[in-house]
């Protein structure tokens, strides 16, 4: 009976996993087909099972002949990494201060931060452009990166996490001669790695997927991130090829999949401890 239950569980688990895997599989396989074959196979089993005679690198060679996608992937990796490093440091320090210290207007600042969380990016993009333009930072990398380093949602998440952090650990650090910042970097951060990884991945994905702000903030095509390059492929007036889109999407998905593979343990633990879904 136990064996039957276990087998049933695995069959169900595999079925659910397949459900999530099929679109990804279809995307990867389609990237190796020409459009005619993609639409011939669509809806049938050969959409997700390869017939090697149909597969070729044509879409990749054509796509990479038109667009330097790898350059854009490299740009995005740099931008996302810088945003994660600066974002985690600044937002966690802000969250730590809100959770542990007493200072004037603390509650007011917290309410302000929570209120800002509900304002959609579309509502702030124009004022943001005007401010960055006024600072003379438009069309510069700092002008692109700075506005999204501070993130009210992440400050709030860190604040909630640090509220339940055991104060005794920090007190013992102080007794051992550590400063407040020393305690933060040597005790708090190492004990909160799951939270940092979770917020880091959310920040990375937000930066990776951003299209509107880089188009607004940057002009030099050599500096454009991957989402801008993707939209160039999707908006092509004369060569709207599904196979090109699938090839571009496959290239773009690889770094994200690698990220998940390396950090999946932290993602699951962090999601459970912070309640993020």
Partner 1 sequence: MKKIFLLMAALVLALSLAACSSKGGDGDKAGKLTIWTQAAADHPEGKMFADRVKEYNKEHPDGPKVEIQNITRAGAGSGYIDKLNAAITANDMPDIFTLDGPDIAAYADSGVIGGVDPYLSDGFEKGFTQAIIDQGTVDGKLYGMGYSDSGVAIMYNEDMINALPDDIKALIPSKDQDWTWDQFVTLARKIDEFAKKSNDPAFAKYETAVSTLLTDVSNGVYETGTYFYTPILWGNGANIVDEDGLTVDGVFNSSKSVEALTKYAQLFKEPALATASESEKAFHSGKTALSVSGFWYVNELINNYPDLKFRTVRYPKMSENYDGLYTPSGSWAFVRNGQEKDEKRIKQVVEVMEWLTNDEAAKEYYHKNGSIPTRINSISEIDTNTDNLYHNEAWSVLKYQVENTNKARPVSPGYPYLSETFAKDVLLKIAQNKTTDSATIKKYVDDAAKKIDKELEKYRK
Concatenate the DSSP letters of all residues of 94-157 into one string. HHHHHHH---TTHHHHHHHHHHHTTS-HHHHHHHHHHHHHHTT-TTSHHHHHGGGTS-HHHHHH
Among 56, 124, 140, 274, binds partner 1 (CB under 8 A): 140
* Interface stretch with partner 1, choices 17-25, 34-42, 111-119, 193-201 (CB under 8 A): 34-42
Pick between residue 67 and residue 273 the one whose CB is nearest to partner 1: 67
What residue spans of the chain are helical by DSSP H?
A: 2-30, 35-41, 58-66, 69-100, 106-116, 121-134, 141-145, 152-163, 167-175, 180-183, 189-191, 193-209, 212-217, 226-234, 242-274
Euclidean distance between the first and final Cα of the chain, in Å?
34
Task: Give the count of residues interacting with partner 1 (CB under 8 A).
Answer: 55
Binding of residue 64 to partner 1 (CB under 8 A): no
Among 94, 155, 228, 248, binds partner 1 (CB under 8 A): 228
Binding of residue 259 to partner 1 (CB under 8 A): no
Cα Rg of the chain, angstroms = 23
Binding of residue 46 to partner 1 (CB under 8 A): no
Per-residue binder mask for partner 1 (CB under 8 A), 197-226, x = binder: --------------xx--xx--x-x--x--
Burial pattern 47-60, b for ≥16 Cβ within 10 A else e, equals bbeeeeebeeeebb
Binding of residue 139 to partner 1 (CB under 8 A): yes
Binding of residue 125 to partner 1 (CB under 8 A): yes
CA–CA dist 274, 148 (Å, integer)? 22
Among 77, 186, 209, 255, binds partner 1 (CB under 8 A): 186
Binding of residue 121 to partner 1 (CB under 8 A): no
CA–CA dist 95, 151 (Å, integer)? 11
| CB of residue 61 to partner 1, shortest distance in Å | 13
Burial pattern 154-167, b for ≥16 Cβ within 10 A else e, equals bbbbbbebbeebee
| CB of residue 136 to partner 1, shortest distance in Å | 4
| CB of residue 229 to partner 1, shortest distance in Å | 7
> Closest by alpha carbon to 225, among 237, 209, 236?
209
Pick between residue 4 and residue 45 the one whose CB is nearest to partner 1: 45
Among 97, 145, 188, 202, binds partner 1 (CB under 8 A): 145
| Binding residues vs partner 1 (CB under 8 A) | 34-36, 39-40, 42, 66-68, 82, 85-86, 89, 125-126, 129-130, 133-143, 145-146, 181-182, 185-186, 211-212, 215-216, 219, 221, 224, 228-229, 231-232, 234-243
């Amino acid at each position: 009976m136990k064996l039957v239950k276990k087998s049933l569980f695995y069959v169900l688990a595999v079925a659910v996993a397949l459900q999530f895997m099929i679109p990804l599989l279809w995307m990867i396989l389609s990237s190796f087909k020409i459009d005619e074959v993609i639409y011939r196979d669509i809806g049938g089993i050969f959409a997700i099972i390869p017939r090697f005679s149909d597969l070729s690198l044509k879409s990749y060679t054509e796509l990479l002949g038109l667009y330097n996608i790898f350059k854009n992937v490299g740009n995005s990796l740099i931008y996302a990494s810088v945003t994660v490093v600066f974002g985690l440091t600044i937002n966690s320090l802000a969250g730590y201060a809100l959770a542990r210290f007493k200072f004037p207007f603390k509650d007011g600042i917290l309410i302000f931060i929570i209120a800002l969380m509900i304002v959609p990016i579309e509502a702030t993009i124009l004022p943001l452009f005007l401010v960055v333009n006024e600072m003379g930072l438009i069309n510069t990398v700092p002008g692109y990166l700075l506005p999204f380093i501070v993130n009210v949602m992440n400050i709030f998440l860190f604040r909630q996490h640090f509220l339940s952090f055991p104060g005794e650990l920090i007190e013992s650090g102080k007794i051992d001669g550590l400063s407040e910042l020393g305690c933060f970097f040597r005790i708090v951060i190492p004990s909160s790695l799951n939270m940092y990884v979770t917020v880091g991945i959310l920040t990375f994905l937000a930066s990776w997927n951003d299209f509107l702000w880089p188009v607004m903030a940057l002009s030099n095509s050599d500096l454009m991130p991957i989402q801008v390059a993707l939209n160039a492929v999707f908006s092509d007036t004369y060569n709207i090829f599904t196979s090109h889109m699938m090839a571009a999407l496959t290239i773009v998905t690889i770094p994200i999949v690698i990220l998940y593979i390396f950090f999946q343990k932290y993602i699951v633990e962090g999601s459970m401890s912070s309640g993020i879904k």
